[in-house]
């Protein structure tokens, strides 16, 4: 017997493709500035971004303490640089839709955060 798509499964599939679900949807919403500024700034950049940078920094220090290659440790330490730049751009793009005072604080905060994130 042939399987027939019900309206619920058809619309769910079309909606998921249109909005971009999963990782693709996450990245696109930030790239397009569609995600709320508070979410991008506080959760994505400050909490998750900082946490990931701390982990890679610690991993690089452990590698150096274990007398592993300095080049490899530096590669691990700086591996999140593209992600950090993406997060700063996402904050700036999301700030375009926020009130001017919030946008200014978030943009300035992201520029202060970036060198801190690179160093840790």
Whether 95 is in a domain gets the answer yes
Q: Using CA atoms, how far apart are residues 15 and 84, in angstroms rounded to an integer?
A: 30
Q: Using CA atoms, how far apart are residues 94 and 38, in angstroms rounded to an integer?
A: 9
Whether 16 is in a domain gets the answer no
Q: Using CA atoms, how far apart are residues 43 and 39, in angstroms rounded to an integer?
A: 5
Residues contacting residue 56 through CB under 8 Å, at least 6 positions apart: 76, 77, 79, 80
Confidence category of residue 19, pLDDT binned at 50, 70, 90: low
Whether 8 is in a domain gets the answer no
Q: Using CA atoms, how far apart are residues 46 and 10, in angstroms rounded to an integer?
A: 38
Whether 25 is in a domain gets the answer no
Whether 10 is in a domain gets the answer no
| Predicted model pTM | 0.80
Quote the number of domains for the chain. 1
Domain that holds residue 48: 30-119
Supply 69's token pair. Answer: 């290659």
R_g over Cα of the chain? 19
Token pair 């920094």: residue:
57
The tens digit of pLDDT for each residue in 70-88 reads: 999 999 999 999 999 999 9
DSSP-assigned letter for residue 3: -
Indicate if the pLDDT at residue 18 is higher than 50: no
Whether 14 is in a domain gets the answer no
Say which range, 5-9, 35-39, 50-54, 81-85, has the weakest mean pLDDT.
5-9
């Amino acid at each position: 017997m042939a399987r027939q798509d019900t309206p619920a499964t058809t619309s769910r599939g079309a909606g998921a493709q249109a909005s971009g679900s999963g990782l693709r949807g996450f990245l696109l919403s930030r790239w397009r500035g569609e995600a709320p500024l508070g979410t991008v700034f506080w959760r994505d950049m400050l909490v998750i971004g900082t946490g990931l940078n701390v982990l890679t920094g610690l991993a690089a220090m452990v590698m150096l303490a274990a007398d592993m290659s300095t080049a490899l440790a530096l590669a691990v330490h700086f591996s999140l640089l593209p992600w950090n730049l993406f997060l700063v751009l996402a904050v700036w793009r999301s700030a375009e839709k926020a009130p001017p005072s919030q946008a200014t604080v978030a943009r300035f905060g992201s520029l202060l955060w970036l060198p801190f994130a690179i160093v840790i």
